[in-house]
Structure 1
Amino acid sequence: MRDVRFAFGPFVLDPGAGTLLRNDDPVAVGYRGVKLLAALVGRAGEILGKAELMDAAWPGTAVEEGNLTVQIAQLRKLLGPAVDGGEWISTVPRVGYRFTGTIERLGGATRKLLPLPDKPSIAVLPFVNLSNDPEQGAFADGLTEDLITDLSTNGDLFVIARNSSFAYKGRVMDVRAIAEDLGVRYLLEGSARRASGMVRINAQLVDAASGAHLWAERFDRSLEDIFAVQDEVTSRIVEALLGRLQPVRKRNRPSSLEAYDLCVRARKLMDDTPQMAREAHLMLTRAVSLDPDYAEAYRWLAINHWMGRIHSGGPAQTDRELALGLARKAVAIDPDAAGSRWILGYLLAYERCFAEADAEFAKATELDPNEADAWAALSDIAILSGRVEEGLKHIRKAFRLNPHPASWYYLTLGQAQYAAGSYEAAVETLRNDETYRTSSRRFLAASLAQLGRIEEANAEAELFLVANPHFTIRHWAAAEPFRDAAVLEHFSDGFRKAGLPD
């Protein structure tokens, strides 16, 4: 549907560009909202089952049905009543949903393409699981993620982040279209089959501009050799893109393939519901017991402790201490892992160990200049340190490396825009339905208040307090790693104007 737009009532939906217009004005709808709406309007009048819709919005990811219900409710709110006074999206009890409006298919819209970087740029698309066992999908996903990580550490390349690569899982699209969407020239495609102690991997490197295959190879190896195969594939890609062989940086590898699979499966659950976060915790704990020297298991367990039990003022102290210890363990095992370094830096900042935190972030971005999450987290820390322009620069870099990011990127961007005094931009960002949730409402309320839209600000503040009844500005300020009094007062002023309690 990339070259097709859909018009209905006052709206025009462009699935390829990810935009929705109402009377030519942009509507703040998020990535998953666009995917759901595109699936519905693309088959207007038909009943789409819940499983089909969840696959359209969360391809390759196990999510609870409640996530779909929330997204549909937000779409209905954004669209408002249909022309006849009814709903654009009707519920078919116990089955799914149907788009009831009349749509008109329009030609594709010309949109601004992301400029190509000044170095070879590549995205690794999710490897296809060719095994007869769907459970082996985690293995194919892990292979994809590892190749992204291995390539990402090469500073001579521009490598798209995992989250954006996996946005195309299970989708049939022309390679040129994907490359244009991500702003890269090259794509790595492949498949994996794992059975009876053996693994077969097919990989091909495509120049999206010409459609030519720069390199393609098949590997038939023992499963025990899987990580050696990953190193070989990485070396071949680097040679094809840069015209020279380069040594692959040695990474900490698991001694247990079961621990490896558990980590891959757990990572897919981290950003979803508390129940899924608890499931991830059990998987990661098991991975650590199976392989006590596997750094990735400690890294993700640290994130799970930090993010899995969030309270209004931040994680409970016990969780913070556990998370910090686990992050230190991950770095001790694998000091060259940028992912573990920035997690440790972020946790250290919250412990007010600022010099050590800054050193960890510096090391992380040196080890892996393509680590988008590191740049996004560093933006947050820079803003709270009073380095607002630097923070904006970092989050923009993170978005370029990760055009389809996790929702917390939008919160970080909105916070940076508020700090810079760009309140209108902050409102637009924070009302994106991927972030329009409890954790961002306080910043949305503050932005509205600074614009003089006090009634709207009060409403958002009240909604925030429903979920965070014990929130006070004083406790929030004490919990956040501020290093700049002026920035702290700027945020506090917006909160007070919005009606949040001191």
Structure 2
Amino acid sequence: MSETRKIAAILVSDVVGYSRLAGADEDRILARLRALRSDLIDPTIAVHHGRVVKRTGDGALVEFRSVVDAVRCAIEVQNGMVERNAGLPPDRRIDFRIGIHLGDVVEERDGDLMGDGVNIAARLEGICEPGSICLSEQAYWQVKARLDLAINDRGAVQLKNIADPVRVYSLQVGVPAQAKPAAAAEAAVPERPSPQLALPDKPSIAVLAFQNMSGDPDQEYFADGITEDVITDLSKVSGLLVIARNSSFAYKGKAVDVRQVARELGVRSVLEGSIRRAGNRVRITAQLIDAETGGHLWADRFDRELSDVFAVQDEVTRRIVDALMIELSPSEAAMLGAVKTTSKAHDFFLLGREALWGTIRNRGVFERSTDLFAQAIAQDSNYGEPYAGLAMAEVLNWQFHWTDGWSESLEKAERHVDLALQKSPQVAFVHYVASVFYLWNKDLDRSAAEADAALNLNPNYAQAHNSRGIVNIYGGQPLAAIPHIEQAIRLDPALRQLYIHFLGSAYLVAGKFEAASALFRERIRLAPNTDLSRAFLAVALGHLGEAEEAGRVWRELMEINPKYSFAEHVGRLPFRDQADVDHLSEGLSKVGLPS
């Protein structure tokens, strides 16, 4: 059979006044729609078990297994848009109309849907008020007893090209039903869900921080380090999407529902486990969980000598790959089997990495981490990763001036980078650090090459994607940076507040000022004390001629950092073309701000 008839809950959405918005600035509206789909719409559809049948440029046709799911999805999207539109002038708001109907549809062989069920939903969307949801009578009766909603009965409406009148109910999003008691009215406003991401079209996994079962808090670094090594090994597999450490470790120490974690991170499976270290023995337990069913795909326990810990990591990785039915390429298999170093050298490296990548960064952390990296090298002088750790520490010292000799830090970093690349050319972390070093050394071509090398070894390396994007921004190809930075956000959503600054920078350098300003506003919302994003927001507003708003943003910036200097800030950035720097300064000059 080429088609199937069925009853389905159909949701149709559309942007109000899309032609007007696109006519004013098509690049901006497309950038905002792309961000909304990635951060709000697609994740919300996924968590409510919807299927996007097709998109229509500014709208979508979505099938749900129940009307309750469809309405809950619509409410969350519309409430999310209320928050995102807050503070924006009317000509920059994006408002959706949503129509929902339960009816008979025809499913084509390719999955497309047709018939009255689709047509009625589309016509309901067309008569909606901006930001509203319209339900047919059939849909309304499915949800009236299940959801506490404020409903306006609009009576029977003759819809275009629909033979019989349809009784229409309009849902006032976020407004409690008047007939309900106060307690129920409070429950009527849906709690904003945690950020959720759409599932990729390939196997995907998040590795939660392994629990330290050693009874010694000082062994926490070891459990975290082994977890990160497992993440790194899995990340080498091109057929697997792996969430970065920053994002999976955000759940550390919390009582979590694995299925909720998977929904928030947009993965199909989750690995959790524990580590017990006692003397020269280590016990690792791990279990791979199917996020949809909550069932175990694989579980095992490993009791080994500490010297065999690398073999255990490799075995865990291979067992996960087998459980997910992923076929490794010969080069991927070889990388997973590579022997790294001695257990003592690795131990010192883990301690140094834990210190340098912690939330506190100062001179004390710099001195502690470099001492630990040096001890790792003393244990194994052919171990490249601690040399890369030293290089990164020196780059950070050059940026933050922790020591009196900070001006010599890039020279020291270069020596460490060279040694790291000589000793561990097969390690993505080494190439990532090299990319960062060459970026600040203003060798953009070499920085790009090193970022590419890191991604060839580890296609899931979020920070390397971001680094590659940054090189494109400063190298004069800002639009080419966007896919890389968006992929960094997908792989590492916990660092979205950082990556979104660079995404805004890409649009800013490209001259897409509306899109840039929207992204910088979002960064300020996520990181309220940022001075850099405020400076660049003022630049974008200056180019848009919004002098009053640019001045307000600049005053906020100076309250946060009274010593801020735009010339000093931009002067440190490794732009290849002075014209790009001049164009940024021009945005401030246009509205009388110091450039």
Q: Do they superpose with TM above 0.5?
A: yes
In structure 2, give the amino acid aligned to 1:294.
Y
Identical aligned pairs, as a percentage?
36
Quick one: distance in 2 between partners of 1:467 and 1:408?
22
Relative distance call for 1:460 and 1:239 in structure 2 (3 A) is same
Structure 2 counterpart of 1:437: 530
TM-score (norm 2): 0.62
Which entry has the higher C-alpha Rg, 1 or 2?
2
Structure 1 counterpart of 2:395: 306
Deviation at 1:348, TM superposition (A): 1.7
In structure 1, give the amino acid aligned to 2:292.
A
Quick one: distance in 2 between partners of 1:227 and 1:397?
29
Structure 2 counterpart of 1:456: 552
TM-score (norm 1): 0.73
- Of 319, 323, 348, the residue aligned with 1:259 is 348
Structure 1 counterpart of 2:271: 188
Deviation at 1:496, TM superposition (A): 3.6
Asked if the contact 1:126/1:144 (under 8 Å) is kept, the reply is yes
1:487 aligns with 2:570: no
In structure 2, give the amino acid aligned to 1:133.
D
Quick one: distance in 1 between partners of 2:316 and 2:493?
25
Structure 2 counterpart of 1:81: none
Measured against aligned partners, the alpha-carbon deviations of 1:41-60 in whole angstroms (never above 9, x if no partner) come to xxxxxxxxxxxxxxxxxxxx
Deviation at 1:416, TM superposition (A): 2.2
In structure 1, give the amino acid aligned to 2:340.
N
Relative distance call for 1:27 and 1:151 in structure 2 (3 A) is farther
- Of 357, 364, 375, the residue aligned with 2:454 is 364
Deviation at 1:501, TM superposition (A): 4.6
1:348 aligns with 2:441: no
Q: After TM superposition, where is structure 1 displaced by more than 6 Å over at least 4 residues in a row?
A: 19-23
Relative distance call for 1:464 and 1:110 in structure 2 (3 A) is closer
Measured against aligned partners, the alpha-carbon deviations of 1:448-486 in whole angstroms (never above 9, x if no partner) come to 433412321431453476234xx462x555542223454
In structure 1, give the amino acid aligned to 2:358.
L
Asked if the contact 1:125/1:189 (under 8 Å) is kept, the reply is yes
| 3-state SS in 1 of match to 2:267 | coil
Measured against aligned partners, the alpha-carbon deviations of 1:267-290 in whole angstroms (never above 9, x if no partner) come to 442664554444434433443444
Structure 2 counterpart of 1:8: none
1:124 aligns with 2:213: no
Quick one: distance in 1 between partners of 2:254 and 2:297?
23
Quick one: distance in 1 between partners of 2:551 and 2:594?
16
| 3-state SS in 1 of match to 2:529 | coil
Relative distance call for 1:396 and 1:501 in structure 2 (3 A) is same
- Of 462, 466, 476, the residue aligned with 2:562 is 466
Deviation at 1:373, TM superposition (A): 0.1
Asked if the contact 1:129/1:191 (under 8 Å) is kept, the reply is yes
Comparing 355-364 with 132-141, greater Cα deviation is found at 355-364
Quick one: distance in 1 between partners of 2:528 and 2:418?
30
Relative distance call for 1:393 and 1:151 in structure 2 (3 A) is same
In structure 2, give the amino acid aligned to 1:345.
S
Measured against aligned partners, the alpha-carbon deviations of 1:419-453 in whole angstroms (never above 9, x if no partner) come to 33224313313313437334444323323433412
Relative distance call for 1:121 and 1:143 in structure 2 (3 A) is same
Deviation at 1:304, TM superposition (A): 1.7
Counterpart mapping for 1:37-436 below 5 A: 107-109=190-192, 113-244=196-327, 247-249=333-335, 250=338, 252-256=340-344, 257-269=346-358, 272-273=361-362, 275-311=364-400, 316-405=406-495, 408-419=498-509, 420-421=512-513, 422-434=515-527, 436=529
In structure 2, give the amino acid aligned to 1:366.
N
In structure 1, give the amino acid aligned to 2:554.
N
Deviation at 1:127, TM superposition (A): 0.3
Quick one: distance in 1 between partners of 2:341 and 2:523?
39
Quick one: distance in 2 between partners of 1:466 and 1:357?
33
Deviation at 1:225, TM superposition (A): 0.6
| 3-state SS in 2 of match to 1:404 | helix
Quick one: distance in 2 between partners of 1:231 and 1:362?
25
Quick one: distance in 2 between partners of 1:111 and 1:138?
28
Quick one: distance in 2 between partners of 1:289 and 1:448?
53
Asked if the contact 1:379/1:394 (under 8 Å) is kept, the reply is yes
Comparing 423-432 with 105-114, greater Cα deviation is found at 105-114
Measured against aligned partners, the alpha-carbon deviations of 1:316-373 in whole angstroms (never above 9, x if no partner) come to 5411222222222222211111122122123223333333222212212111110000
Provide the aligned C-alpha RMSD in A: 3.2
Deviation at 1:261, TM superposition (A): 3.7
Deviation at 1:383, TM superposition (A): 1.1
Unaligned runs of 5+ in 1: 4-16, 29-102
Asked if the contact 1:252/1:295 (under 8 Å) is kept, the reply is no
Unaligned runs of 5+ in 2: 1-46, 48-75, 88-184
Structure having greater relative contact order (Cα 8 Å, sep ≥ 6):
1
